[in-house]
């Protein structure tokens, strides 16, 4: 597999019970760089990420990661192989301190990452190390969740709505760090903040009712007159 297809997803189909959500979704993610997944609520974006990390089982299709067929692998094995995941919902332990949350992230990783490294990425967390995670701002909790995932030394990072509920003044800081991360590893980002997503990602896929409706370079997707149709509720 070439760098151009570090993650290669082909004709992926996923269902919740009897309700099919994804219909033949295909995408390619390079070894370094970011791909944005866009679409209105209910389009299948989170379902796609949960299928890639193994929380949901695909009914059909193929997922190849780093030249390995991971379609039937459990989540734990995918994480050990280098796929990190930051879910949309709360993903920090609120009663534990920031330091303790980071240590949990290190202990769950086969190759423990450097706490100093993630604190350099998000220096605000260094001033909050002894603070309970549940008392952090929305932006700081997102930073902590991303930092915990990075402590697993992922080769591919899946991010579901990393700026949801984040104060606008912090969004720029998160965007800058995601741009920097995407220069070193592969990133798939689901994001409602259109300009942030298209700025961070070189390519974008727009989902509509579980199918890829638009795909291409971010600049092309941004200028496509059909884009607003697929993003408007």
Burial of 106 (0-12, 13-18, 19+ CB in 10 A): middle
Written as tens digits, the pLDDT of the chain (233 aa) is: 445 689 999 999 999 989 999 999 999 999 999 999 999 999 999 999 999 999 999 999 999 999 999 999 999 999 999 999 999 887 789 999 999 999 888 776 656 668 888 899 999 999 999 999 999 998 899 999 999 999 888 999 999 999 888 888 788 889 999 999 999 999 999 998 899 999 999 999 999 999 999 999 999 999 999 999 999 88
pTM of the model: 0.93
What is d(CA 55, CA 131) in angstroms, rounded to the nearest whole number?
31
pLDDT of amino acid 2: 44
Tell me how far apart the terminal alpha carbons of the chain are, to the nearest angstrom: 38
Q: Using CA atoms in the order 4, 9, 10, 11, what is the torsion angle rounded to 10 degrees?
A: -150
Q: Using CA atoms in the order 92, 95, 101, 104, what is the torsion angle rounded to 10 degrees?
A: -100
pLDDT of amino acid 19: 95
Q: What is the CATH number of domain 3-231?
A: 3.40.50.300
What is d(CA 194, CA 222) in angstroms, rounded to the nearest whole number?
9
What is the domain partition of the chain in residue ranges? 3-231
Task: Specify whether the CB–CB gap between 128 and 163 falls below 8 A.
Answer: no
pLDDT of amino acid 112: 61
Contacts (Cβ under 8 Å, ≥6 apart) of 186: 6, 7, 29, 30, 31, 32, 33, 34, 155, 156, 157
């Amino acid at each position: 597999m070439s760098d151009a297809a570090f993650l290669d997803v082909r004709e992926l189909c996923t269902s919740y019970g009897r309700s099919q959500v994804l219909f033949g979704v295909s995408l390619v993610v390079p070894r370094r760089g970011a791909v944005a997944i866009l679409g209105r609520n209910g389009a299948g974006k989170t379902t796609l990420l949960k299928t890639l990390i193994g929380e949901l089982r695909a009914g059909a299709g193929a997922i190849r990661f780093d030249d390995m067929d991971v379609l039937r692998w459990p989540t734990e094995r995918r994480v050990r192989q280098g796929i990190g995941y930051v879910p949309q919902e709360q993903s920090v332990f609120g009663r534990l301190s920031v330091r303790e949350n980071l240590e949990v992230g290190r202990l769950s990783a086969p190759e423990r990452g450097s706490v100093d490294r993630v604190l350099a990425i998000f220096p605000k967390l260094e001033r909050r190390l002894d603070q309970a995670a549940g008392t952090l701002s929305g932006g700081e909790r997102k930073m902590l969740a991303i930092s915990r995932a990075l402590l697993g030394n992922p080769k591919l990072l899946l991010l579901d709505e990393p700026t949801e509920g984040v104060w606008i003044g912090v969004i720029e800081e998160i965007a800058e760090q995601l741009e920097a991360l995407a220069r070193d590893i592969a990133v798939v980002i689901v994001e409602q903040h259109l300009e942030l997503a298209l700025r961070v990602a070189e390519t974008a896929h727009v989902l509509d009712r579980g199918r890829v409706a638009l795909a291409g370079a971010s600049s092309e997707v941004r200028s496509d007159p059909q884009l607003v149709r697929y993003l408007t509720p």
